[in-house]
């Protein structure tokens, strides 16, 4: 008779496999992105209260009133970013570190910025636990980007910018790609900016999304 742990582990693997199939049927077909999602234990990134729901295709609350993004959106954004194995990627809004982990499996190096010290610390502990060594973290205002490390091949913003993120676009290589939710309300447009090689960026609206806002400055915490 299988013991409980085995059954739980099998059920978990089956749930994750179902999630990956669901993402594929919704258009996330990039094999590298799907492999990154399949090899990332999302339950490690969700609060205890929501661990059973880690493989549902939904956003879930994390500490500091923030959210871990919906797996479909993580897949869609990662695929749209067209990350290459040599890419240096900047991510704004580390949150739980789930999206960062997916990017770290696709890119050479990921720089990630978070304005909550608590979230940054928890994400750093997860990266360490998973043995991820190609992630560089910074506690700060990601709206300003990371000028010292610019230019980047790719930039992913995981909080909603009120307008086109000009400061971040200026830190992108001329042929780079930036993906960001843009808009002031509760529903924003997911936009992909594609560089033409001369520093002109064409904006493509991908879909509608709901992200927490990109806020200025660092968060004050007790
Ligand atoms: N990618 C994350 C989603 C986190 S939600 C995940 O997979 O879990 C968006 C995150 O952006 C929040 O943690 C929020 O604190 C952060 N954020 C908002 N404005 C920011 C800013 N100006 N600089 C850095 N992080 C910011």
144-163 pLDDT, tens digit each: 999 999 999 999 999 999 99
Report the CATH number at residue 77. 3.40.50.150
Distance (angstroms) between ligand 1 centre and the Cα of 193 equals: 20
Residue 220 counted as domain residue: no
Task: Flag whether pLDDT at 34 surpasses 70.
Answer: yes
**Cis before residue 6, ω within 30 degrees of 0?**
no
Distance (angstroms) between ligand 1 centre and the Cα of 156 equals: 11
pTM: 0.96
Residue 89 counted as domain residue: yes
Distance (angstroms) between ligand 1 centre and the Cα of 129 equals: 21
Closest CA to 99 of 83, 86, 118: 83
The number of folded domains in the chain is 1
Judged by DSSP in three states, 182 sits in strand
Q: Which sequence positions are flagged as catalytic?
A: 69
> How do strand 152-157 and strand 201-209 relate by DSSP bridges?
unpaired
Atom of ligand 1 nearest to the CA of 214: 19
Task: Flag whether pLDDT at 2 surpasses 70.
Answer: no
Q: Residue 13: in which H helix or E strand, if any?
A: helix 4-25
Task: Flag whether pLDDT at 1 surpasses 90.
Answer: no
Residue 83 counted as domain residue: yes
Closest CA to 78 of 32, 109, 123: 32
What is the reported pLDDT for 46? 97
Residue 37 counted as domain residue: yes
> Are the C-beta atoms of 217 and 143 separated by less than 8 Å?
no
Q: What span, in angstroms and rounded, lies between the C-alpha atoms of 87 and 175?
A: 12
Residue 49 counted as domain residue: yes
Segment 65-77 mean pLDDT: 97
The two tokens of residue 67 are: 């959210």
Task: Flag whether pLDDT at 4 surpasses 70.
Answer: no
Closest CA to 155 of 62, 88, 74: 88
Distance (angstroms) between ligand 1 centre and the Cα of 3 equals: 39
What is the reported pLDDT for 3? 45
Average pLDDT, the chain: 96
Tell me the residue range of the domain where 54 lies: 4-209
Output the CA torsion sign for 128, 78, 141, 51.
negative
Mutational pocket test of ligand 1: of 90, 158, 179, the residue with most ligand atoms within 8 Å of the beta carbon: 158
The two tokens of residue 56 are: 């549902």
Please give the torsion angle defined by the CA atoms of residues 111, 210, 83 and 217, in that order, rounded to the nearest 10 degrees.
-20
Return the DSSP state at 70: P
Residues with CB under 6 A from ligand 1: 66-69, 92-93, 95-96, 98-99, 113-116, 119, 141-143, 158-159, 212, 214-215
> Are the C-beta atoms of 85 and 107 separated by less than 8 Å?
yes
Residue 185 counted as domain residue: yes
């Amino acid at each position: 008779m299988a013991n409980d742990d085995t059954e739980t582990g099998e059920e978990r693997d089956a749930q994750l496999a179902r999630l990956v199939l669901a993402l594929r049927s919704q258009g996330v077909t990039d094999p590298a992105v799907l492999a990154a999602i399949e090899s990332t234990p999302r339950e490690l990134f969700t609060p205890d209260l929501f661990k059973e729901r880690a493989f549902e295709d939904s956003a879930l609350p994390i500490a500091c009133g923030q959210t871990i993004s919906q797996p479909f959106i993580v897949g869609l954004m990662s695929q749209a970013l067209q990350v290459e194995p040599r890419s240096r990627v900047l991510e704004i809004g580390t949150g739980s570190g789930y999206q960062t982990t997916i990017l770290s499996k696709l890119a050479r190096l990921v720089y990630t910025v978070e304005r909550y010290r608590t979230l940054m610390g928890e994400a750093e502990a997860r990266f360490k636990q998973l043995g991820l060594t190609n992630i560089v973290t910074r506690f700060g205002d990601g709206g300003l980007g990371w000028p010292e490390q610019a230019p980047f091949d790719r930039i992913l913003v995981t909080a909603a910018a009120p307008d086109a993120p000009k400061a971040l676009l200026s830190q992108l290589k001329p042929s780079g790609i930036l993906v960001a939710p843009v808009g002031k309300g509760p529903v924003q447009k997911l936009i992909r900016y594609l560089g033409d090689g001369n520093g002109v960026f064409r904006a493509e609206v991908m879909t509608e999304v709901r992200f927490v806002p990109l806020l200025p400055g660092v968060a004050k915490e007790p």
